[in-house]
Structure 1
Amino acid sequence: MLELMKKGVDVRAKNSVDRTALHWAAGAGHDQAVKLLLEHDVPVDEEDCFGMNALLLGAWFGHLKVIQVLVNAGAKISCENKSGLNLLQCAAERGHIKVMEFIMEDLEDIKLDKTDKLGRTAFHLAAEHGKLEVVEFLIGSGCQHSLKDQEDNTALHLAAKNGHTAVLQKIVEIGVELNEKNLEGLTALHLATEGGHYECVRILLEAECDVNVQTEKGMNALHYAAFHGLEDIARLLIDAGININAVNNQKSTALHISVLQNFPSMVKLFIDSECDLDITDYRLQTPLHIAAEHGRQDMAEMILIAGVNLKLQDKVHV
């Protein structure tokens, strides 16, 4: 670097994404290179095309020494990138606890519950990305636990959706509301089920969440289990007392959906659980009609053996 500088290289030169040598040194954790560049009057707060400056890159990649050098050089600590992420949020999303401790203990005016452009706080981001140590640190620092992002997701929603079992367990333990709905009417249980996250579903059920909550489209968790053929999760939900005969906005039960999605083992499970075989959907079709319509003989036979009302007719009968 010194040799190049002696030859008159432009220390402020930018690449195709507007990053300077300072950006690269900070992101790579080379504190001595950062110091050298700053001594040659490289602008400390210059942003790349993503709105990332050297300080934010240091936080993103967890380089505490780099951050300290930049702060001592007068870097603007209230900076944020084009997504609205500040220092704390960058470190939280990536799980850099030492950096977070420095930010909270040594820097001023860093807001613990600041939101990004999606309405997510550091707590949301840590939960979404499964950073347990960060979640514990933020809880200990007094963050708000139940804030909602722009889609009305809480940290509980995000941990459940992404299958972060340990983080979900921690958030449940602090006593948050388990049945909060997002904009689509989904609870953490719906999201954990849809993602196929068995342990997350188990944690929520053991914490006594409402197993029968339905979304804006009338879907309960069992509908999602049926749609994806998640037999183990369906058993958990049935054991927890879910309404096996609940209908969604199309008047479909979980059995209707299992037949349509071609999951014979799910159909058997619902039959063994004594579901109502004669419920009709918005087309007045029973699960047997759907099995016949799609030529699914194995499922039709299971339903017939279980005993159905063969006189029920759908809307297009002749």
Structure 2
Amino acid sequence: MGECGVPPQVQLFLRACEQGDCETARRLLGLPGGGTTTTTADPAVPSSSCGTEEAAEPRGEASAPPATTTAAAAGAAVAVDCTDEAGNTGLQFAAAGGHEQLVRFLLRKGASVQSTNHYGWSPLMQAARFGHLSVAHILLENGADLNAQNKLGASVLTMASRGGHVSMVKLLLESGAFVDNYDHFSTSVLNSSRDDLPDITPLMAAAQHGHEAVVHLLLDWGADCNYTVKTMGWSPLMLAAVSGKVSLAQQLMEKGANPDHLNVLHKTPFEISVGFKHKDMKDYLESLTTIRPQADTEKRQPDVFHALKLGNFQLVKEIIDEDPSQVNITNVDGASPLMIAAVTGQLPLVQLLVEKNADIDKQDNVHGWTALMQATYHGNKDVVKYLLNQGADVNLRAKNGYTAFDLIMLLNDPDTELVRLLASACMQVDKDKNKLNNRSSLPCSRSRQSLNVPMLPDDKGETAYLYVLWRNCSSSSSILLLWYLVDPRRRKDDVGRKLKLW
């Protein structure tokens, strides 16, 4: 058995699929045509030819396969839909890498086009995220679910829109993708079962990342320019304000976007542009916005949630000093003041609330999220670090079953420093548990480590990151992320090209 329960042959097969090595993949599946190569070519360069069905798989006794291939088929063949620890199949890796011939080959051999990893990503999502148009065509021809969503509620079209792949977005729309993640002509909403997860539409993803051509295309197809995220109240115009691109805001306004819409923090797109210091966006939205920031006169009837929305440290302190019970009161969604402060990322307010005996592990009534989860999801590293230092429970699970670490691993582009912080905390918890149970802190002994997975020095504490990341990432990509975390000198782009299944 290989690293953490994944057999070595499976690891080799998945790595071959990631690299587009058809010959090795065929051999490990125990099929003819994938015999041992005798060339002295660079082994790092994968074979890219899967050949034709007839040429690669001769039939009859006159064309028996080599002995090495027969042995592989008899004793070491892997299943075409075998997975790593994160549930990724060979087809997932091949689709993410854009390996068209290998994708065709795996589908011919019975690979499931609907397979999803533990985070809900399908092969089509992988192809869409990285703009592999020909691979998407193949998967759609083989019945891939066009409107599937991952466990964060993001659809295939959302993946393509986030990446700014105009041709991919056009293909998906013309093939019948729901432009807003639900069928406009049906009463049943596609993501109605995902009320406990933050959701984002393709238009929001494109607006947030400044993809003007994609925004234009989605609006032409009838995307709702006033759709809002239920949990946070953000609209496409607000996300355009974050990007700072005035042309995006203009497109949305032409389609009827509401400049006076308020999010859960009572902020308009104009106020958001001010906060991000986008002068041109601020100047554009200011003349369109009729709702102005609330005046200080509202302090006459102070409320801790209103004070938090204002970001007024002194007012929050005065309110809690006068009525200490307000530190743990909840709003209509069951959120506490500490959770609101964690969302906004205002560390001084978070510190004040904790010092005033805020319940650091309190969970809201709607989703079961804690302040640590909110800070993690919104990328507020200083708040995450502080809450962890104050003993926030990293093992608490939301109503959907996810911990704070699970949330960071579900994001498309997880922040490496946040991963490091949470991984370290998780590892410490595991060490403490293992001490109580008198067993080693590592799940696999050093003698059973795969030869393909280099072990890092224990004295640097780097095996802790290996252990936690290995449990949550694909077998071939986790070690690359680990190298980047412990050696910031590595080029992020080089590592990022390999981390395709995030």
Which TM-score applies when normalising by structure 2? 0.41
C-alpha RMSD of matched pairs (Å): 2.7
**Distance in 2 of aligned mates of 1:26 and 1:176:** 36
What letter matches 1:132 in structure 2?
E
Q: 8 Å contact 1:119–1:148 — kept in the other structure?
A: no
**Distance in 1 of aligned mates of 2:95 and 2:255:** 37
Structure 1 stretches (4+) deviating beyond 6 angstroms?
none
**Distance in 2 of aligned mates of 1:85 and 1:157:** 19
**Distance in 1 of aligned mates of 2:238 and 2:147:** 28
**Distance in 1 of aligned mates of 2:166 and 2:245:** 18
**Distance in 1 of aligned mates of 2:94 and 2:151:** 21
Structure 1 partner of 2:203: 123
Are the structure 2 counterparts of residues 159 and 21 from structure 1 closer, same or farther at C-alpha, using a change threshold of 3 Å?
A: same
Q: How do 1:75-224 and structure 2 match up within 5 A?
A: 75-105=144-174, 107-108=175-176, 110-114=177-181, 117-150=197-230, 151-205=232-286, 207-210=287-290, 213-214=292-293, 218=294
The answer to whether residue 83 in structure 2 is matched with residue 34 in structure 1 is: no
Determine which structure has more spread, i.e. the larger CA radius of gyration. 1
Which TM-score applies when normalising by structure 1? 0.64
Q: 8 Å contact 1:59–1:91 — kept in the other structure?
A: yes
Q: Deviations over 1:19-65 (max 9, x none)?
A: 11110100011111001111111122111111111111111111111
Stretches of structure 2 that go unaligned for 5 or more consecutive residues are 1-24, 32-71, 183-190, 192-196, 303-309, 320-502
Are the structure 2 counterparts of residues 164 and 27 from structure 1 closer, same or farther at C-alpha, using a change threshold of 3 Å?
A: same
Q: Deviations over 1:102-151 (max 9, x none)?
A: 1111x23x321226642432112211221111110011112221122112
Q: CA deviation at 1:172?
A: 3.0
Higher relative contact order (CA 8 A, sep 6+): 2
Q: 8 Å contact 1:97–1:134 — kept in the other structure?
A: yes
Q: CA deviation at 1:175?
A: 4.1
**Matched-pair identity in %:** 25
Q: How do 1:10-21 and structure 2 match up within 5 A?
A: 10=78, 11-21=80-90
Q: CA deviation at 1:193?
A: 0.7
What letter matches 1:208 in structure 2?
L
Q: What is the DSSP-based 3-state SS (H/G/I as helix, E as strand, rest coil) of the residue aligned with 1:112?
A: coil
Stretches of structure 1 that go unaligned for 5 or more consecutive residues are 219-245, 262-281, 284-318
**Distance in 2 of aligned mates of 1:88 and 1:31:** 20
The answer to whether residue 149 in structure 2 is matched with residue 69 in structure 1 is: no
Q: Name the count of aligned residue pairs.
A: 225
What letter matches 2:124 in structure 1?
L
